[in-house]
Amino acid sequence: MTGATTAPDNEDEPEVVKRAISARTVTLGLVIGIPISIVFLWMAVRGVDLNQVWTAVSEANLWLVLLAVPFANLLIMFQGFRWRHLVGADPKPGNPVFMALMFVGGAITNVVPARPGDIARGVWLARIGRIPVARSLTSVGVDRAVDVVTLFVLLLACLPFVDKPDWLVNLVMVVGVLTLVAAVVLVVAWWYVNKSARGRERASLGRDDKSWLRHNISGIIRGLSILSRPRDVLAAFALSFIGWGCAIFAGWLIAEALGIGLNAASIMFVMGVVSLGAAIPSSPGMIGTYQWLIVTSMAVVGVDQADALAFSILSQAIWYIPITLSGPFAAWWLTRYERIHRPQAVVA
């Protein structure tokens, strides 16, 4: 009998990564994102005394800034825990793998335009967990949908305590519509997987199915099937609120370090607007877009432009630098983990 080896299920998935994070995608991100970021940065800094901004940054309470760093990055940790609950696979890797993938994805998004980090972490999870790519990427989409719902709830909670300019009302309406659409899609997907005979049939399809289309539809449906597990969904939302609570507390610490007096509703409002605005195409790391969102949202709660710019610099630095520096280490650790846990060849 001749020896044969069984290839891992996702042996072809590095090609998916190359296609998803291609030179064309990066170029498109540069062409669209960088000009948008430049425009937003100009809008954020026009008319402000930059010396006043630098003075505010240099005189900030360093100890409060350092204390804010772990809280800002606890968001990534809790997002990793949350994502694991939203992956409909059994068995699946442990929490450290999901945390490392979140740091890798964040680091990629911080240095590469077009926000390819979410695609990269989804595809790498497929390789490590031997999960179909469509199923893994679907879990990333559900994970981001939970973020949107969480932030929308937090934004609604603080609206009664802040002024409501027209742009804010429009933002809430747009996010509300998107949240409603996402909820309808998720409910329909849940019904299709759990109540429809065809949905149950497609969800049961495996790697033996020869149709590329049917296989990927099966992966998407099986990725959405996590919605039929209320305990995991509730755990995901609980972790989401805890993670964003940590990020909001980090923002409050930065405001205190700069001597900006913001109550809980105000800082929640600012962080909610900025995080929801992350969907705007921009340069790597939201540079420019982040500053404009901070200046615009802080103006609503009575913070002047110079202090708001100082806040944007420090609040961005406390997550941008640690995530970007941790990304290569997390990638090295994941590569080592994947090599150790690679399935052994099976002799036929």
Task: Count the Cβ atoms, other than its own, within 10 Å of residue 35.
Answer: 14
Per-residue pLDDT of the chain (348 residues; tens, 9 = 90+): 444 444 444 444 444 445 555 555 555 555 565 676 777 677 777 878 888 889 999 999 999 999 999 999 999 999 999 999 988 767 788 899 999 999 999 998 888 776 788 888 998 998 888 888 888 888 888 898 888 889 888 888 888 888 877 777 777 787 778 778 777 776 776 676 666 555 555 555 444 455 545 555 566 666 666 666 788 889 999 999 999 999 999 999 999 999 998 888 999 999 988 888 776 666 677 787 888 889 988 988 889 999 999 999 999 999 999 999 999 999 999 999 888 876 543 333
Inter-helix orientation angle 95-111/62-85, to 10°: 120
d(CA 76, CA 269): 20
pLDDT on residue 257: 95
pLDDT at 261: 83
> Taking Cα atoms as reference points, which of 263, 236, 268 lies closest to residue 152?
268
The rounded distance, in Å, linking the Cα atoms of 214 and 200 is 13
Task: Provide the residue ranges of all domains of the chain, joining segments of one domain with +.
Answer: 13-146+231-340
Residue 193 pLDDT: 61
Residue 345: both structure tokens together = 């060849």
Which pLDDT does position 16 carry in this prediction? 43
Nearest of 20, 67, 22, 49 to residue 257 by alpha carbon: 67
pLDDT number for residue 162: 83
* CA gap 60, 72 in Å, rounded: 17
Query: Is residue 305 within a helix (H) or strand (E), and if so which, with residue range?
Result: helix 305-340
State the Cα–Cα distance between residues 104 and 92, nearest whole angstrom.
Answer: 18
Spatial neighbors of 72 by CB under 8 A, at least 6 apart, are: 246, 247, 250, 251, 315, 318, 319, 322
Count Cα atoms within 13 angstroms, Cβ side, for 236: 25
Cis bond leading into 91, ω under 30°?
Answer: yes
What pLDDT score was predicted for residue 346?
Answer: 37
CA dist 101 and 317 (Å) reads 21
